[in-house]
Homo-oligomer: A and B are copies of this chain.
Amino acid sequence: MSTSFFQDMLGEIAERGRSLLERSAVVPAISRVGWRSPAKGASIDELSRALLSGRGEASGVAIARQVLDLYAALSPEERTAFFRLLARDFAPSPERLRAAWAQYDADPSPAHLQALLRAVEPPRQELFRRLNLAPGGTRALVAMREKLLEEVGREEEFASVADDLEHLFHSWFNRGFLMMQRITWSTPADILERIIRYEAVHTIHGWDELRRRVQPPDRRCYAFFHPSLVDEPLIFVEVALTREIPHSIQEVLADGREPLAPERATTAVFYSISNCQPGLRGISFGNFLIKQVVEDLCRDIPSLKTFVTLSPIPGFGRWLSRVAEDPEGAGFPGFDRGRLAGLDEPDWHLDPVRTAELKPVMLGLAAAYFLRMKNGKGQPLDPVARFHLGNGARLERINWLGDTSPKGMREGAGLMVNYLYDLGTIEAHHEAYANQGVVAASGPVQRQLRDFEAGLLEGRVAV
């Protein structure tokens, strides 16, 4: 037998998922028999309309290819014009919508409801579905939404177009269609290269550092992929297997450390999680990825008992500056902001006297930052906290000088945090958080907050 059935099948997906540029190779063979003569010289506007028309039903794939080829060649100005076309000419027809409403209003039957549903759905959604007929279509549409999001600031009407794509992607990138794949030192280099490029939390400085994150027996990296974007990770997470919950990223990433035999590990530490596709913003993968990794690790490494993150606090630094600068106490009446003096000095964390003074006050402030501060929706200020708490995790520990890199000092004032994924309580935590905004926190963190607030009352902090 020549080749395997499923290998071929995967080849077919992979081929379709590839970039637009390479499609041209297949055209000549076909044109020999007269296939595919779709109007040479037609504009992207005309072809987009044709794709939605009867012609699109007959020759959808060919027209979709043409539209995407033309789109790829647009200048920035032309692209913006095309986006305007999508926003205006492929929006629901107000007349048709009103008529459908009138019908439904008179008789709210299921059929009239369906008709209303069809009338309110923007035609561009069907246009996007038809563009997806072409090889490389999904990839092109994800890239198109990335551009749309970049331009939303300038042209507000593009938001609806981006929303329509998001709605489609919500279906297309359903977790049921994603494949989780472990990333190792045997992963194809072009994918590893993307891991280097997309790492958004703790920069990977080249191939040697990448190897240290994926090759040692106590390191894991997992990513989600989609069949139509076959060599493009959607999101990935890096994991360290340890015997203790780590206090700092320095110890996790230390060069030259002795790897731990996986069967001796008790703790899996998620120390970095990065979204890769700006065009998929708003489609949430992280929760699924973390939980799938927990499942897989549970099965593979029976000694694991604890699943925890080592996370940055990206909003803390800026918030702390406001506290330090606010003569009113920034919501902490009685807080002596003089206690925070010197934080703007470079390398303050290298001064043992200074750090000893700062540690209690900053840990207290951090506890307050997580447990007391709320944004307009009643949620914590910190985006990473919102993500993990929303997943049902618990704020487990605040780590002093957990990240002393320049970025860590600047964004998180050197602090890091562990969120605990305690499998028995995830759902309860999630519900309390989602419904009542309760931030689950460990006893020690709660005590830090109490001590801090008691100190405020007693003026101790201010002394």
Q: How far is the CA of A240 from the CA of B236 in the complex (A)?
A: 36
Decide: B185 and A58 in contact? CB cutoff 8 A. Answer: no
Contacts A10-B10, A177-B228, A295-B30 given; indicate if A58 touches B5 (C-beta within 8 A): no
Contacts A1-B231, A189-B185 given; indicate if A391 touches B58 (C-beta within 8 A): yes
Decide: B190 and A188 in contact? CB cutoff 8 A. Answer: no
The yes or no answer to A29 lying at the interface (CB within 8 A) is yes
Decide: B26 and A174 in contact? CB cutoff 8 A. Answer: no
The yes or no answer to A372 lying at the interface (CB within 8 A) is no
The yes or no answer to A434 lying at the interface (CB within 8 A) is yes
In the complex, chain B residues whose CB is within 8 Å of the CB of A11: 2-3, 7
Size of interface on A: residues with Cβ below 8 Å to B: 112
Contacts A34-B424, A132-B174, A207-B207 given; indicate if A7 touches B9 (C-beta within 8 A): no
Chain A contacts with B in 114-145, Cβ cutoff 8 A:
114, 116-117, 120-122, 129, 132-135, 137-138
In the complex, chain B residues whose CB is within 8 Å of the CB of A424: 34-35, 37
With beta carbons under 8 angstroms apart, the residue of B34, B176, B228 that contacts A176 is B228
With beta carbons under 8 angstroms apart, the residue of B7, B129, B302 that contacts A6 is B7
The yes or no answer to A77 lying at the interface (CB within 8 A) is no
> Which of A1, A94, A138: most chain B Cβ within 10 A?
A1
Give the number of copies in the complex: 4
The yes or no answer to A330 lying at the interface (CB within 8 A) is no
Residues 27-67 of chain A: 1 if any B CB is under 8 Å from the residue's CB, otherwise 0? Answer: 00110111111100000000000000011011111000000
The yes or no answer to A113 lying at the interface (CB within 8 A) is yes
Decide: B186 and A190 in contact? CB cutoff 8 A. Answer: yes
Q: How far is the CA of A382 from the CA of B151 in the complex (A)?
A: 50
Query: In angstroms, how far is the closest chain B Cβ from the Cβ of A268?
Result: 11
In the complex, chain B residues whose CB is within 8 Å of the CB of A163: 114
The yes or no answer to A170 lying at the interface (CB within 8 A) is yes
Q: How far is the CA of A5 from the CA of B283 in the complex (A)?
A: 25
Chain A contacts with B in 382-427, Cβ cutoff 8 A:
390-392, 422-424, 426-427
Residues of A at under 8 Å CB distance from B? Answer: 1-16, 18, 26, 29-30, 32-38, 54-55, 57-61, 91-92, 94, 101, 108, 110, 113-114, 116-117, 120-122, 129, 132-135, 137-138, 156-157, 159-160, 163, 168, 170-172, 174-177, 179-182, 184-193, 206-207, 211, 225, 227-228, 230-231, 287-288, 291-292, 294-295, 298-299, 302, 304-305, 390-392, 422-424, 426-427, 430-431, 434-435
Query: Other than the known A58-B287, A132-B176, A187-B189, what 17 A-B pairs have Cβ atoms closer than 8 Å?
Result: A5-B5, A7-B7, A8-B181, A9-B181, A34-B422, A35-B298, A54-B431, A58-B427, A92-B113, A94-B108, A133-B176, A133-B288, A138-B177, A168-B171, A172-B177, A177-B227, A177-B228
Ordered by A's residue number, 7 sampled pairs between the chains whose C-beta atoms are within 8 Å are: A26-B299, A37-B427, A38-B427, A58-B287, A59-B430, A132-B174, A189-B189
